[in-house]
Amino acid sequence: MSEKKEFWRWKEYRWHDEAMDWKQADIISAGVDIGSVSSQAAILLDGKLYAFSNQRTGFDSPQSAHQAINWAMEGTGLSLDNVHFAVGTGYGRVNVPFADKAITEIACHPRGGNFMYGPSVRTILDMGGQDCKAIRCDQRGKVEAFLMNDKCAAGTGRGMEVFADLLSISIEEVGQLSLSVKEEPEPVSSTCVVFAKSEASALLREGWPKNRVLAAYCSAMAHRVVTLLERIEVEKDFAITGGIAKNAGVVKRLERELGLEALQSKYDSQIAGALGGALFAQALETKRRRG
């Protein structure tokens, strides 16, 4: 498609806590989330977050899995041999060669969300690269209701990328730009990304500035997502994980329509899946050792 243009590309990065020493850890667990668009790896030492990485998924799940975990471990001296239990999650979870178990994102996200946002979180919205999940959970992060939409690009990162590409605006700036409008325009009438794109092209030809077109699209996306959330009945506290949490244009409009503020976390919103996987890994390793 538009592989040559870079407007859809967001920053890939890794991090680890220099103050922690993995050699002192009792249980080293890992979670790897292989999504259709991005992959993350999270490493925990006795349940505390030690390292993580976030990058675009390659053509091949096993290779992406290795890349994700190796990058997370970079500079730490850790290798896969030191990891006691690894969980694979995400679209490519059954293709993580070193995973001891594959667990769905539906189970992993609220577990990770509970860690990132605290035990008060009850409703999690995850908008990934090619899917949109709404999950209601209890105070331990156990799932009580869920839905996942991975059939339709509307309300997913890919849908947003199509617009970033159309308007030649980097995906990281899309949110803020959409909020720079003085007056909120009518949302685009088509939910379908293909038709919304035609609608947006027509609006641009009519002279609409880019920020207004973005506002119209973010508004439509937010509304669409709210209807999905309503299906599982929203209960506070509410949190957003996945790449879309970084899109202030959608987040603010969502909050407005829901009448709820999304909880903030010091952790990167995209690691909820991998983090949940690593937490499951830790619990499963603990269980295994008890015999």
Q: Binders of another protein among 230-259, rule CB under 8 A?
A: 231-232
Report the nearest approach of another protein to the CB of residue 151 (Å): 4
226 lies in the binding site for another protein (CB under 8 A) = no
Q: Which residue lies nearer to another protein by CB, 241 or 265?
A: 241
Minimum distance, C-beta of residue 149 to another protein, in the bound complex (Å): 5
Name which position in 17, 46, 100, 144 contacts another protein (CB under 8 A).
144
**Rounded distance between C-alpha atoms, residue 136 and residue 111, angstroms:** 11
203 binds another protein (CB under 8 A): no
When the beta carbons of 109 and 210 are compared against another protein, the nearer one is 109
Site string for another protein, 104-143 (x = CB under 8 A): x-xx----------------------x-------x---xx
Asked if 61 is part of the footprint of another protein (rule: CB under 8 A), the reply reads no
CB of residue 39 to another protein, shortest distance in Å = 15
List of residues 6+ apart from 105 with CB closer than 8 A: 33, 89, 90, 93, 126, 128, 133, 148, 273
Judge whether 88 and 34 are in contact, CB under 8 Å.
yes
d(CA 23, CA 10): 33
Do residues 265 and 49 make contact, with C-beta atoms less than 8 angstroms apart? no
- Should residue 150 be labelled a site residue for another protein when binding is judged by CB under 8 A? yes
Answer yes or no whether residue 160 interacts with another protein by CB under 8 A. Answer: no
Asked if 205 touches another protein (CB under 8 A), the answer is yes
Q: Could you tell me the smallest distance in angstroms from the CB atom of residue 73 to another protein?
A: 26
Q: Give the nearest distance from C-beta 121 to another protein in angstroms.
A: 17
How many CB atoms are closer than 10 A to CB 37? 19
Among 152, 204, 226, 263, binds another protein (CB under 8 A): 152
Nearest residue to 276 via CA among 28, 42, 53: 42
Applying CB under 8 A, among 39, 57, 149, 178 the residue interacting with another protein is 149
**59 binding another protein? (CB under 8 A):** yes
Q: Provide the minimum distance between the beta carbon of 100 and another protein in the complex, in angstroms, as a whole number.
A: 12
Site for another protein in 24-43 (CB under 8 A): 36
CB 34 within 8 A of CB 64: yes
What are the CA-CA distances from residue 215 to residues 108, 208, 219, 229, 249 (Å)?
A: 32, 11, 6, 21, 7
CB 25 within 8 A of CB 283: no
Say if CB 85 and CB 45 are below 8 A apart. no
Residue among 51 and 157 whose Cβ is closer to another protein: 157
Burial track 96-135 (b if 16+ CB lie within 10 A, e otherwise): beebbebbebbbbbbbbbbbbbeeebbbbbbbbbbbbbbb
Residue reference for tokens 């490519």: 92
Closer of 3 and 18 to another protein (Cβ): 3
58's tokens:
């390659």
- Determine, following the binding rule CB under 8 A, whether residue 158 of this chain makes contact with another protein: yes
Strand partners, 22: none
Residues lying near another protein in the complex (CB under 8 A) are found at 1, 36, 59, 101, 103-104, 106-107, 130, 138, 142-155, 158-159, 162, 190-195, 202, 205, 224, 227-228, 231-232, 280
